[in-house]
Structure 1
Amino acid sequence: MDKKITNTTHRRFLKPALVAAVAVSIGFGAYSMNYSAEQGQSQTVNLAGLTVSSVVSGEFKNALSVRGQVVPKTTIFLDTVSGGRVEARLIEQGTYVEKGQPLVQLSNTNLQLDVMSREAQVTEQLNFLRNTQMTMTTNALNLKRDLLDIELNISHLERKLTQTESLLTKGLVSQEEVDEIRENLQYNRDIHTLTIERQAQENSIRKVQLAQLEDSAKMLQSNLEFARKNLESLQVTAPVSGYLSELDVQVGESKQAGARLGQIDIPDEYKLSVSLDEFYLSQVTLGMTMEINHGGQTLQAKVTKIDSRVSNAQFQIEAELPAGTQDIKRGQGLDAQLMFSDEQTQATLLPRGAFFSASGGHWVFVLSNDGTQAERKAIRLGKKNQHFYEVLSGLAPGDKVITSHYGNFDKADVLNLSN
C-alpha cells in the first residue's frame, strides 16, 4: 500500500538554500563578468593583487642561471691490491697526508704463505741453475783436458814416426812397425778433429742452455719481487700528497682485492659540477663561458666536460675554477651563469614572471595609458635569461605588462582594474 512521505525540516530548507546559492552565483558572475560586442569578454580584477612590470630596452645577456657543486679537479682513489683484514687505521679522514705516508695496515695470511712458497721455489731453481752451470763448466774443462792429451799423443807419435822412418832406412826396424805408428798417429789426428767439433757444439749448446736458465732465474726472481710487492702493499700508503677526503675502513673488517678504501684530493685544484635539464643538451658546447659568483667577485671559467648521459631528465657539465681561487672547499655550492653567447645585443626586454605558466609567452595583458584597463595582446618571445625575456614582437619599451600569475582571469580579453 502507498505510504505518505512527510517533509522533514531538512527537506523544507534544502530547496530554498539551493535556489539562493544559484542566485548569488548568477549575481557574482553578472558583477565580475560582462560582455560587449566591441570589447569581448571582460573581468574586473583588484589591482592590488597584481604585479605590473615595465617593458624596457637594454642589452640582453643570453645566459642561464645555474648552481653547481665544488669538486676536486684531480682525485686519486685508494684501492687494495690483494685484499686482507684491516689491522690498523693509521690516520683519520680529512687530514692532509704526504706522499708515502702509511694510512692503513692490512694482513693476509694466504699471501704471506704464498710469498714463502715462492721464495722456496726460487731458491730451489737457483740452486739447480748453479749446479747445472757447474756441471757444464766441469764438462768443458774435461773436454779441454782430453784435447790436451790427444795433442800430446800426436806430438809423441809424430816424433816417434820420424825416428822410426830413419831407422827403417838403416834396416833397424821393420816396415810393419812404421806403418803401425803412422796409423796410430792418423787415428789421434782424427780423434783430435772430432773432439774440436764436439767442443764447438757443446759450447754452442751450453750458451743456449745457460741463457735459458738465466732467463728462468730472472723470471722466478721477478715473480718473487712481485709477490713481495704484494706483501708490501698490505701497508696502504699515500701515492700523492693531498687531503684524505674519504677513508672507509674499520679495524677488523675484511677487504676484497680491488676494494675501494678512500680517496685523496689534490689541493688548490677544483672544478664546478653542474646539473642541467636535458632541454639544454644540444645547446651546451665545450669551451662555453661560465661566470661564477664567489665572495662578491665574478670568476671566469670554461666548460671542460659534458657528460651526455641523461639521468632523471638531467645531465652533468664541469667547469674548471681558476687556479689559486681562495676560500674554496669541496662540496661547496656556488651560483653561476652559463653564457650561451658572449655577445650582448640591444633588445626589448620583458621582466620574467609567473604569467608565462598560463600564456606560454604567446600573449600578455597590457595596461592602458590611464591604468584602468588591461587588454590581452599577442606577443612573441625569444631567448630568456635569469631576469628577462627577449621580446621579438608585440611590445614596445614603456609598455606596462601584468607579469604575475593570471589565475582565474586567463580566459578574459579585457581586465577592468579596480583599487
Structure 2
Amino acid sequence: MDKKITKTNHRRYIKPALFSCFALLVGFGAYSLSQSAEQGQMQTVSKAGLTVSSVISGEFRNALNIRGQVVPKTTIFLDTVSGGRVEGKLVEQGVYVEQGQPLVQLSNTNLQLDVMSREAQVTEQLNFLRNTQMTMTTNGLNLKRDLLDIELQISHLVRRLRQSEALLKEGLISQDEVDEIRQDLRYNRDIHELTLERQKQESSIREVQLAQLEDSAKMLQNNLQFARKNLESLQITAPVSGYLSELDVQVGESKQAGARLGQIDIPGEYKLAVSLDEYYLTQVSLGMAVEISHGSNTLQAEVSKIDSRVTNAQFQIEAQLPSGIQDIKRGQGLDAQLMFSDEQAQATLLPRGAFYTTSGGHWVFVVNSDGSQAARRDVRLGKKNQHYYEVVSGLAPGEQVITSNYGNFDKAHVLNLTN
C-alpha cells in the first residue's frame, strides 16, 4: 500500500538563506575594497620623521657648487734633445731654480763621434774650397798674362807693319813679307778676342763654383753648430726661473731622445682646474663668472678654457686665479661657485630636499594651515642651485612643504600628521 510523502517545513527556508549569505558576501567584499582604496589614498605619518620647509620669495642665484684643484698657470717641460745616459743629478725636485742653472748631466758617445765626423767633413770641405779658390785664382792670372803677351805681340806687329809698308814703297822689301806681317797681326787680334771671351766665361764659372762651394761650406758649418748644440744639450739647464715641481731621473739610467725629465712651474701664477659632469657641457661658456672661496675671502675669476673632450662622463674647465694670492699651493683644493647667470631675479623658492628623488619635482606634499594634514599637489620646478629649487608654478610663498624623503608614503594622496 503506497504512503504519501509530506514536505517538511525547514526545506522551504533553504533557498532564502542561500540568497542572504550571498548578499552578505558581496557586501563584505565591497566594504573591504572601499576600505582598501581609502587606505591607499590616506596614510597616517608621524611628524617626528619629517622635514617641513617654508616656500619663500627671494633672489635666485643660478650657480653650481664645484671644487677644483690649483695648478700652475704656466708650466715649462724639460725634455731631452738627443737622449743619453744620466751621469749626474745636480738638483733635487721641489727646489727653486734660476734660469740657466744646470739640472741634469747626460752623456752620449754616438753624438760625440758624430760631432767629430762632422768637424772632419767641414775641415775637408774648407780645404777643398781653398784649393779651388787658389786654382781659379792661378788660372785667372795665367789668362791675364796670356792677354798681356798677345797685346805685346800685336803692338810689335803693328809697328813692324808700319815699317814694312814704308819699306815696300821704297822697294826695299817684297809684298809677300808685308802680307805675312798683316796675317800675323790679324791672327793675334783674333786670339786676343778669344782670350777675352774665355776670361769672361771662366770668370762667370768661377763665381758660380765659388758661391756653391761657399754655400756647401756654410751648410756643413751650420750642421756642425747644430751637432755641437746637441752636444751642449747633454747638460740640461733651467730655461726659466721657477719651482722644479718634477724631476724624474736616476743616475745611470738611459733616456731616449724627446723623453720628459721634469717640469718647472712659474711662481705666483695659478689657475683652478675643475671637472664637471657632461650634463653641463652645453651650459658652460668662456668668460663665465666663478666665485672661489679662499679662506675668509671670495676671489672673482672667469672661465678661461673649456676642454670639451669627455672622459668618464666628465669634461674639464679652467679659471685663471688673480695674481699675488698668498697662502696658495700647487695641488690645493678650493671650493667655488660657477655662476650660470649674473642676474639675481626675484623668484619663488623651495628648499632642496630628498623628496626630489621620489617625485622628480613633479609633485609635493603641502601641509595645511593647522599642520594636521598634508595633501599631494602637482608642481613645476625650474632651475636649482646649492640651496633652492626655483618654483615655476604650483606653490606660493608662505606655504609649508614636506621636503624629506617620500619613500614610505609615495602612493598616498593625503597624509594624516601625528605628533
TM over 0.5: same fold? yes
1:216-256 CA-to-partner distances (Å, cap 9, x unmatched) read: 01001011111111111111111111111111111111111
Tell me which residue corresponds to 1:287. Answer: 287
Residue in 2 that maps onto 1:391: 391
Deviation at 1:416, TM superposition (A): 2.1
Matched, 1:222 2:222: yes
Secondary structure of the corresponding residue to residue 41 of structure 2: strand
1:59 is aligned with what amino acid?
A: E
Match of 1:41 in 2: 41
Q: What secondary structure does 1:226 align onto? A: helix
For the pair 1:413 / 2:413, whether they are aligned, the reply is yes
Shift of 1:37: 7.2
Change (3 A) 1:35 1:355: farther
Equivalent runs, 1:96-175 vs 2, <5 Å: 96-175=96-175
Relative distance call for 1:358 and 1:37 in structure 2 (3 A) is closer
Instruction: Compare 335-344 and 40-49 and name the one that shifted more.
Output: 40-49
Report the CA distance between 1:72 and its aligned residue: 1.1
Give the equivalent residue in structure 1 for 2:8: none
1:189 and 1:312 map into 2 onto residues whose CA distance is 93
Checking the alignment, whether the CA contact within 8 Å between 2:40 and 2:411 is kept in structure 1 is no
Query: Which amino acid in structure 1 is aligned with residue 174 of structure 2?
Result: S
Alpha-carbon distance in 2 for matches of 1:114, 1:319: 48
Does the CA-based 8 Å contact 1:40-1:414 persist in structure 2? no
Work out the CA distance in 2 between the residues paired with 1:192 and 1:347: 108
Percentage of pairs with the same residue: 82
Alignment of 1:1-400 (within 5 A): 41-400=41-400
SS in 2 for 1:159: helix
Cα distance in 2, alignment partners of residues 35 and 315 from structure 1: 54
Unaligned 5+ segments in structure 1 are 1-33
Q: Once the two structures are superposed, what CA deviation does each residue of 1:150-179 show, in whole Å capped at 9, x if it has no partner?
A: 111111111111112212222222222211
Distance across 2 between alignment mates of 1:35 and 1:118? 103
Pair 370,39 (structure 1): closer, same or farther in 2 beyond 3 Å: farther
Cα distance in 1 for residues equivalent to 2:37 and 2:231: 94
Shift in Å, 1:313: 0.8
Whether the 8 Å CA contact 2:361–2:379 is kept in 1: the answer is yes
- For the residues of structure 2 that align with 1:393 and 1:186, how far apart are their CA atoms? 120
Distance in 1, Cα, partners of 2:310 & 2:304: 18
1:367, distance to aligned residue in structure 2 (A)? 1.5
CA contact (8 A) 1:39 1:414 kept: no
Whether the 8 Å contact between 2:304 and 2:318 is mirrored in structure 1 is yes
Structure number with larger C-alpha Rg: 2
Query: Given that residues 303 and 320 in structure 2 are in contact (C-alpha distance below 8 angstroms), is that contact kept between their aligned partners in structure 1?
Result: yes
Q: What per-residue deviation string (whole Å, max 9, x for no partner) do you get for residues 55-109 of structure 1?
A: 1110000111111111111111111111111111111111111111111111111
Q: CA deviation at 1:35?
A: 5.1
Paired residues of 1:35 and 1:41 also in contact (CA < 8 A): no
Following TM superposition, by how much is the alpha carbon of 1:397 offset from its aligned partner in structure 2, in angstroms? 1.1
Question: What is the TM-score when the length of structure 2 is the normalising length?
Answer: 0.89
Q: Deviations over 1:170-197 (max 9, x none)?
A: 2222222211111111111110110000
Match of 1:10 in 2: none
Number of residues of Structure 1 aligned to a counterpart in Structure 2: 386
CA distance in 1, matches of 2:90, 2:230: 19
Moved over 3 A (4+): 34-40
SS at match of 2:229: helix
Shift of 1:43: 2.1
Of 408-417 and 88-97, the range deviating more from structure 2: 408-417
Alignment partners' CA distance in 2, 1:37 and 1:217 = 103
Amino acid at match of 1:65: N
What are the ranges of 5 or more consecutive residues in structure 2 without an aligned counterpart?
Answer: 1-33
Root-mean-square deviation over aligned CA pairs: 1.5
Secondary structure at the residue paired with 1:401? strand
Q: Is the 8 A contact 1:366 1:374 kept in 2?
A: yes
- Which amino acid is the alignment partner of residue 105 of structure 1? Q
Q: Distance in 2 between matches of 1:46 and 1:97?
A: 67
CA distance in 1, matches of 2:398, 2:346: 15
Contact persistence 1:39–1:413 (CA under 8 A): no
Give the letter aligned to residue 79 of structure 1: D
Shift of 1:408: 1.5
8 Å contact kept, 1:53–1:401: yes
Report what 1:21 is aligned to: none
**Distance in 2, Cα, partners of 1:253 & 1:393:** 69
TM superposition shift of 1:371: 1.6
SS in 2 for 1:341: coil
TM-score, normalised relative to structure 1: 0.89
Letter in 1 for 2:215: D
CA drift at 1:387: 0.6
Q: Does the 8 Å CA contact 1:35/1:42 hold for their aligned counterparts? A: no
